[in-house]
Structure 1
Amino acid sequence: MADRDDPGIIGRRVQQLRSARGLTQKQLAEPAYTPAYISTLEAGRVRASDEALRHIAGRLGVAYEELTTGRPAGLATDLRLRLTEAQRTLATGEAGAAAEQYAALLAEAERHELSEGAAVALLGLGECALNTGELEAARQYFERAERAHADAPLPARVPALRGRAVAHYLAGELRYAVYLLESALDELNRGGLHDPDALLLIYASVIGPYMDMGAHARAAQAAELALALAPRSGDPALVARMHRSVARTLLAEGRIAEADASLAKAAEMYRQLQLRTELANCHWMRGYVYAQNGRLECAEGELREALTMLSAKHAALYTSQVAVELADVLHRRGKSDEAAALLQGVLSDIGPERGALHSAAAHRLLGIIAEDARDTETAEEHYVRALSLLERAGAAGDLADLCRLLGDLLRRTGRVEAALDAYRTGLGHRTAPGTTTLGPAPAQPPL
């Protein structure tokens, strides 16, 4: 510890504590040491042994740790316990309350120079900000947490790095999010740092960006690797989150039963852990499974349950994502007016600067609803807005589909040349590799 190694700091602390207790140097020294030794120690001219400091701490009535570091005895342990309580608060969906706990703990950790506690608090604040949709604040917290772990091995930095990548992903910056995650994977594998929890966290986190970029094969490979790593992870909440992410790739491959089984495992884990927000996400993904399988009534029930749970916990960005999927189900069930109202609420809540992909999805669906109502002008306006958002995000698969919708609309209204341009644009996105920034797919770790 830095303070323990500095005789001047310890000497001043001994002098201050001795004076506060009204002791003379002789009284403090007896019976094992001399007043001259105490005088030399207080002047910072001698590095006291552990034995001498334990004697002096006993005479002063303070703990050895407090004498050598200036921190109250047991502070680090107490801080760790309260950080765990804040993590629990966040896990049950109370992001606002958790943020208050983390902010107070961060201030205390920084005041006492407890760098490890400060890093954990910064991670927690970043996760709270992700839950409430404050993506720029989240990114800054995660960057600070990374800097706090700058000298630590990569596995210790992975949670902060993953958080930063998720913040960029939710802001619509898909390629940069994938770049961060793939870079970490490459470094872990190249350096032989095969930490199961770190690898599982990255593979589970990269599935969403891969899917939104149209890189389905990469998403499937990441899912397979995550499933292989899961039995080696010591974090049940992390395993549960992985099962939820993997379900999405199974759906893309048409493996409905396996996706449903994966979600069932995640839901049971979250029920056991009472992680309300993540359990809401399980209802969300189960609703997605039902919707893909044509069971629209069941899908509506699951998505409404997820929306209620997330809304109650003020998870703004996740609430908006679920609302878009619920609106799609409502539209398919003939409840287009309710769907449109839900989507307009989404657009007023998130905006294009955060949640670009979900704003685009809302505009796309509003365009379809308008087209069904034969309001082609409004439909085209929504499609164009969605196209602009998706181009900025680089979501290749969604862009191709949207260009097809726009092209069909333009063709039906007699604008053949404009329709051909839209089709060509869509084909360009579909035939692009759908690849990510680094080229080859992530390397498989030794299992």
Structure 2
Amino acid sequence: MTLGARIRELRRARGLTQRALAGADLSESFISMLEHDKVRPSVGSLRLLADRLRVPLSALIDDRPRPDEADALLRHGDVLLRQHRFTPAMEHYQAAQALAERLGDPQRLAEVHLGMGQALLGVRQFDLAEHHLEQAGRYAQETGDLRLRALVAQARGLLAIRQRRFSAARPYLTEALNLIRQTSPPDRRLEAVILTNLGRVYVNLALPLQALECFQAARPLLEAASDPMGLATLQVNSGMAYAQQRAFEEAAREFRQAAEFLLVQENLQLLGAVKRNLAMLLLDRGDAAGAEPLLRQSLAIARQLADDAGQAHTLTELARAALAQNRVAEAEDLAREARRLAGQVDDPAEAALAVMVLAAAAHRRQRLEEAAAWYREAADAFWSLEMFREAGDALRELGFVYLDAGREGEAAHAFARAFTAQKALAAAQP
């Protein structure tokens, strides 16, 4: 049975006229031509029809699955994914999945689940993303395709990064790197992307030397691939690694070079992140007044893009800058808004960083019970996220709050837990 015949049969079974099936979105003539197989509907039109006919989308796919149609849906989904149009990308992958399942093709099924996992990662549906990436890994293993296996391993590493599980991300990215280096012909650009992401992990594990080794290995590969955006991303991450080493001049050079390119390219989201990183560099050097204008520029960009995650991050840093300039009430307001937005986008790590500012502000005002409660909340959140360095910082500050309150026994316990966090951080490092 053809697609048109199937739609006509379902319409009649539901007692619908062609006009009723068309609704406000489609025309009656389109439905007529569709039922006579004179037009081929888009995925969006098929989804509308499936909803009105009360059937799953897969019921409207041609009885004879066509590999070329599955491939076209996959490639279109990939294009939408690169454009960060995650919802329409998922629609294309779902339609491709219906065909791939009927074809029984592990290669296409791996690509479908990989695409779905990446799109779900884009909308922060982490549990569903993990499920699809596990499926992608299983099908990719069946194919023996090293490049596909590398792509899946990298995606699982990126998921762990987004969840701030950096220790968990490292083995996935190391596996991806080993796999891509075995492919023939070699995919040097993908190798560079994996190296850059592995470097990001090392930055977040406070291992700047290992991070810079990754970035230095990736740089010539990106230059050879003529990938300026990849180079700009690498420069941002290199700047963060240099900042950890307190090599501030090198860090500033990397950030400024990235900012110049991104300004020309009008990549506002990454430009906002670069301005925020430059500001954080100044904050770490004690120049809160110099950092503040950059942070306000970054915040304006995040608001223009409706980037709640970016706003939360920048507001936390603005709160730090305000507190450093003794504007305590303003710091508290900024930190509360950062915490609210972080909760809205389900980013517990950023929420905990905002809580650290609230704790410091309460300590500054000598509201010791409140400060202790905030530090305990932050420490618990960091510990659950395996952010041991930040957990240690929170516990150490909690110890000082207890000392100010004359609670020496509790202070000793907090300092002991901070030392335990330091040992956990060392154990997580290679």
Alignment-mate amino acid for residue 250 of structure 1: Y
CA distance in 2, matches of 1:159, 1:339: 42
Deviation at 1:386, TM superposition (A): 0.9
Query: Residue 83 of structure 2 aligns with which residue?
Result: 89
Query: Residue 442 of structure 1 aligns with which residue?
Result: none
Query: Residue 127 of structure 2 aligns with which residue?
Result: 136
2:81 and 2:119 in contact (8 A); partners too = no
Query: Residue 94 of structure 1 aligns with which residue?
Result: none
- Alpha carbons of 1:189 and 1:100: their partners in 2 closer, same or farther (altered >3 Å)? closer
Deviation at 1:78, TM superposition (A): 8.6
Residues 385-441 of structure 1: CA deviation (Å, up to 9, x unaligned):
11111112222322232222111111121121221222222233335562537x4xx
**Structure of higher CA gyration radius:** 1
CA distance in 2, matches of 1:366, 1:200: 39
Comparing 189-198 with 142-151, greater Cα deviation is found at 189-198
Deviation at 1:279, TM superposition (A): 2.6
- Alpha carbons of 1:280 and 1:155: their partners in 2 closer, same or farther (altered >3 Å)? farther
Question: Are 1:294 and 2:281 counterparts?
Answer: no
Aligned-pair identity (%):
19
Alignment-mate amino acid for residue 136 of structure 1: D
Deviation at 1:236, TM superposition (A): 3.2
Deviation at 1:145, TM superposition (A): 4.8
1:230 and 1:239 in contact (8 A); partners too = yes
Question: Are 1:429 and 2:416 counterparts?
Answer: no
CA distance in 1, matches of 2:309, 2:365: 29
Secondary structure at the counterpart of residue 428 of structure 2: coil
CA distance in 2, matches of 1:301, 1:117: 49
Deviation at 1:378, TM superposition (A): 0.6
Query: Residue 213 of structure 1 aligns with which residue?
Result: 205
Query: Residue 50 of structure 1 aligns with which residue?
Result: none
- Alpha carbons of 1:227 and 1:435: their partners in 2 closer, same or farther (altered >3 Å)? farther
Residues 1-47 of structure 1: CA deviation (Å, up to 9, x unaligned):
xxxxxxxxxxx99xx9xxxxxxxxxxxxxxxxxxxxxxxxxxxxxxx
CA distance in 1, matches of 2:129, 2:314: 21
CA distance in 2, matches of 1:275, 1:119: 31
2:147 and 2:183 in contact (8 A); partners too = no
- Alpha carbons of 1:328 and 1:192: their partners in 2 closer, same or farther (altered >3 Å)? farther
Question: Are 1:355 and 2:337 counterparts?
Answer: no
Residues 259-279 of structure 1: CA deviation (Å, up to 9, x unaligned):
222223333443454433223
2:352 and 2:377 in contact (8 A); partners too = yes
Residues 97-147 of structure 1: CA deviation (Å, up to 9, x unaligned):
x12331232244335549888866765655554454433344345445545
Q: How does 1:244-393 map to 2 (within 5 A)?
A: 244-351=236-343, 354-393=346-385
Query: Residue 12 of structure 2 aligns with which residue?
Result: none
Residues 39-67 of structure 1: CA deviation (Å, up to 9, x unaligned):
xxxxxxxxxxxxxxxxxxxxxxxxxxxxx
Aligned residues: 367
2:202 and 2:208 in contact (8 A); partners too = yes
Secondary structure at the counterpart of residue 214 of structure 1: coil
Q: Pick from 190, 200, 213 the counterpart of residue 198 of structure 1.
A: 190
Secondary structure at the counterpart of residue 83 of structure 2: helix
CA distance in 2, matches of 1:118, 1:299: 48
Secondary structure at the counterpart of residue 350 of structure 1: helix
Question: Are 1:164 and 2:151 counterparts?
Answer: no
Deviation at 1:235, TM superposition (A): 3.5
1:131 and 1:317 in contact (8 A); partners too = no
TM-score w.r.t. the length of structure 1 is 0.69
Query: Residue 106 of structure 1 aligns with which residue?
Result: 93
- Alpha carbons of 1:122 and 1:375: their partners in 2 closer, same or farther (altered >3 Å)? same
- Alpha carbons of 1:87 and 1:166: their partners in 2 closer, same or farther (altered >3 Å)? closer
Residues 157-205 of structure 1: CA deviation (Å, up to 9, x unaligned):
4444333323323324332222322343455568899643333223322
Comparing 358-367 with 381-390, greater Cα deviation is found at 358-367
Query: Where in structure 1 are there 5+ consecutive unaligned residues?
Result: 1-11, 17-68, 91-97, 440-447
CA distance in 2, matches of 1:235, 1:118: 29
1:380 and 1:406 in contact (8 A); partners too = yes
CA distance in 2, matches of 1:414, 1:322: 35
CA distance in 2, matches of 1:137, 1:164: 12
- Alpha carbons of 1:318 and 1:137: their partners in 2 closer, same or farther (altered >3 Å)? farther
2:399 and 2:415 in contact (8 A); partners too = yes
- Alpha carbons of 1:82 and 1:343: their partners in 2 closer, same or farther (altered >3 Å)? same
Query: Residue 403 of structure 1 aligns with which residue?
Result: 395
Deviation at 1:368, TM superposition (A): 0.3
TM-score w.r.t. the length of structure 2 is 0.71
